[in-house]
Structure 1
Amino acid sequence: MRALLVVNPKATTTSERSRDVLVRALRSAVHLTVEYTSRRGHAATLARAAAESGVEVVVTLGGDGTVNEAVNGLMTAQSALAGLSGPRAHALPALAVVPGGSTNVFARALGLPRDWVDGTSVILDALRDGRSRIIGLGMADDRYFTFAAGVGLDAAVVRRVEQSRLRGRRSTPALYFRSIVGQMLTGDDRKSPPLSIERPGEPAETDLGNVIVQNTSPWTYLGDRPVHPSPTASFDLGLDITALRRLAVTSTTRTLAQLATRKGDPRGKQVLHLPDQTEFTVVASRPQPFQLDGDYLGERQKVRFVSVPEALRVIC
């Protein structure tokens, strides 16, 4: 079995020595090629080339950003999909994810251990046993995502966290909490919520201050604690929407407190839940922060979301 290991050398929880151990372990199960990413978007290029050359498994070592790039590379491979009549997942290489980032939401949502050593062991057993599952993905305009996307407050928080990390700060629950508080106190969307959701054949949902889109649950983790805006979200269903109608400090703080519990599933007049959606568009009255799988992607005024069922085969 031919496999490609895509390594993000900046992965936060691994070292050069541990990467060497991983390579030796994988080579006991597959015929392995190793590539290191050198720039943003490089993992997508490597994964697409692997798919088009007939590689059977793409393994990533990195965080959720590396996984997202690799998934987009696989999903845009052309020759692997030529003449395909069934689900594309059967024509593409399978994806195996070794957790190497600070949060690793996608890997943990698949049920993989947080530690890269234990995660590698699960992947090796699955490869030897021929074990995999097929999952759905989300798509925002022309880019796929694995677990979540957001427009508004949560994307603005991701932007703040990324800016802090560029200044040398570590990604911790405390950093996210401070970023949320800072954005709530300085954001201008509390008085005039700018977002609306448009769905085919349904009246628009308007006056929204934030929109979270989930392809699975949890949405993220605070350390070891999963956060569940929509606990029913699943890789096997459509996309779940959780939106806040207003960003008043009191009501938003109450919602965040609900999210901080292990149960999650926030309720209240300001909370809108729309589960298992096939297609919808988020429209903003002015450009809003936008994130996919925890990566800040700039500002958008309109994003079309589509659920893509049976899209990807994963080793887990």
Structure 2
Amino acid sequence: MRGLLVVNPKATTTSARTRDVLAGALRSEMELTLGFTRRRGHGFDLARDAAAGGVDVVVALGGDGTVNEVVNGLMAAQQGAATPALAVVPGGSTNVFVRALGLPRHAVDATSVILKALRRGTSRRVSLGLADDRYFTFCAGLGLDAAVVRRVERARRKGRRSTPGLYLRSTLGQYFVEGRREPGITLEEPGAEAVSGLANLIIQNTAPWTYLGDREIHASPRASFDRGLDVLALQALHLPSTLHTVTQMLAHQPDDPDERGDMTGKKITVRHDLAEFVVRCATPQAFQLDGDYLGEREKVKFTAVPGALRVIC
């Protein structure tokens, strides 16, 4: 078995010594090559080239941004050949995708699970979301959600660490400074009446939406890797309704997605298990995928891609 370990050397929670230990452990099960990301988007190139070269497993060591790049590289190279399986070792600050898969938060523990799965030959198929021509593993957002990600990325470029506190301060700053402008987002579904006047959209491919430390944050609690895309749209960002929504997001949800309930409120629009839809914005809105800010968009087409990826877990 041939494998590639894609390493983000700037990963938040992984040291060089830990990387060496993990690489040594993985070499017990495969012929392993290491690839270090040197710039944004490099993970895409490494995964695409590895897939085209017939590698069997690509292991991503890094945060959700690194995973997103690797996934897109794998999907770009799938034409005419079997797509390599993906394995993920957490190395970022939040690691939503890893935790949504049920893998341990710590790199050594997650590697142990991956090694056992490789020995047993077990894996699972998960769906992906597709936003225009880019795949995402767990979430996308337009509006306030994405503007917060933009603020966090700016702070990190200035040397700030990615912590729950930084996200909380960024959220409060964005909401009270810019977040309550006149809404202008429209959700269009095939065969349904368009919903306009929306202020913020959160699109999920699985649940939870994100984490605040150890606490799960749910926007669409019933979202699942085994279904289509879920949407939570806020029709206004008035303080009382926003606080009501945030309170629901922080509430505990049952472990079984089928036992979970949707967000409720007069200013909330919920959609579950969508195959495709289009989002249009009256003015360019901040846009993020898997926690990476991708600029502003006026239109995005979203599509669910069932069983797109084989994951070792």
The aligned residue for residue 55 of structure 1 is: 55
Q: Using the alignment, how far apart are the partners of 2:61 and 2:237 within structure 1?
A: 37
Is 2:176 the partner of 1:185?
yes
- In structure 1, give the amino acid aligned to 2:269: L
Give yes or no for the alignment of 1:96 onto 2:87. Answer: yes
1:221 corresponds, among 200, 211, 225, to 211
Q: Which amino acid aligns with 1:76?
A: A
Q: Deviations over 1:107-139 (max 9, x none)?
A: 000000001110010001001110100111000
Structure 2 residue 241 is the aligned partner of structure 1 residue 251? yes
User: CA offsets per residue over residues 26-73 of structure 1, 9 Å max, x none?
Assistant: 001111011101011110001001111110000010000000000000
Is the contact between residue 93 and residue 162 of structure 2 (CA under 8 Å) also seen in structure 1?
yes
Q: Within 5 A, what are the aligned runs for 1:106-145? A: 106-145=97-136
Q: For the Cα contact (< 8 Å) 1:74–1:92, is it kept in 2? A: yes
Determine the structure 1 residue equivalent to 2:196.
Answer: 206
Alignment partners' CA distance in 1, 2:198 and 2:52:
42
Aligned residues with identical type, % of pairs: 64
Tell me, which stretches of 5 or more residues in structure 1 are unaligned? 85-90
Aligned partner letter, 2:79: L
Moved more, 301-310 or 172-181: 172-181
Q: Which residue of 2 aligns with 1:231?
A: 221
Q: Output the CA distance in 2 between the equivalents of 1:15 and 1:113.
A: 18
1:81: which partner in 2? 79
Letter in 1 for 2:19: R
Q: Measure how far apart 1:191 and its partner are.
A: 4.8
Report what 1:300 is aligned to.
297
Deviations 1:211-260 (A, max 9, x none): 00000001101001111111110111000000100011221122112212
CA contact (8 A) 2:262 2:270 kept: no
After TM superposition, the score normalised by the length of structure 1 is: 0.95
| 1:265 Cα deviation after fit | 4.4
* Aligned length in residues: 306
State the AA in 2 paired with 1:278: A
- Please tell me the root mean square deviation across aligned C-alpha atoms, in Å: 1.1
3-state SS of 1:81 partner:
coil
**Aligned residue among 263, 266, 271 for 1:269:** 266
